[in-house]
Amino acid sequence: MATSSDIAHDQEHDAAHDHPSDGRYVRIALVLAVLTAIEVWLSYAGLSSKLTTATLLIFAAVKFAIVAMYFMHLKFDNKVLRRLFVTGLALAIFCYVAYLSTMQVFP
């Protein structure tokens, strides 16, 4: 019968096996750095205000998702954790977008 330390070791092994390698983490960080550089460039590019805002928000959402999925391991972990976090995030987005719309913050 497996002891608790055996189970712990197996779980660590499984977790390490499922997660990306160090090299992949570095490549993901490079992607994040490039996306940040493009964001900064966009803010100086002189595009229309609405286009700049929309593009910047999409870039931020992509960076957020990459960090959450790969660095925080939501892509690989138990789905309960993903649901827990997404519930809080979705609630926050819904509440505050509704609030700011009510206060006519968006043009």
Partner 1 sequence: MTAVETTVHGDGHGHATNTGVSNEKVAMWAFLGSECLLFGALISTYLLYRGKSVSGPTEPADLFDIPFTSVSSFVLLMSSLTMVLALAAIQRRDEPRLRLWLLATALLGATFIAGQIYEFTAFVNEGLTISTNVFGSSFFVLTGFHGVHVTLGIVMLLSLWGLSARGKLPPEKSETVEIAGLYWHFVDVVWIVIFTVIYLVP
Positions in the binding site for partner 1 (CB under 8 A): 4-5, 7-9, 11-12, 15-16, 19, 22, 25-26, 28-29, 32-33, 36, 39-40, 42-44, 49, 52-53, 56-57, 59-60, 63-64, 67-68, 70-73, 77-78, 80-81, 84-85, 87-89, 91-93, 95-96, 99-100, 103, 105
C-alpha count within 13 angstroms, C-beta hemisphere, residue 28? 19
Question: Do 43 and 52 touch, CB atoms closer than 8 A?
Answer: yes
Q: How far apart are CA 20 and CA 69, in angstroms?
A: 11
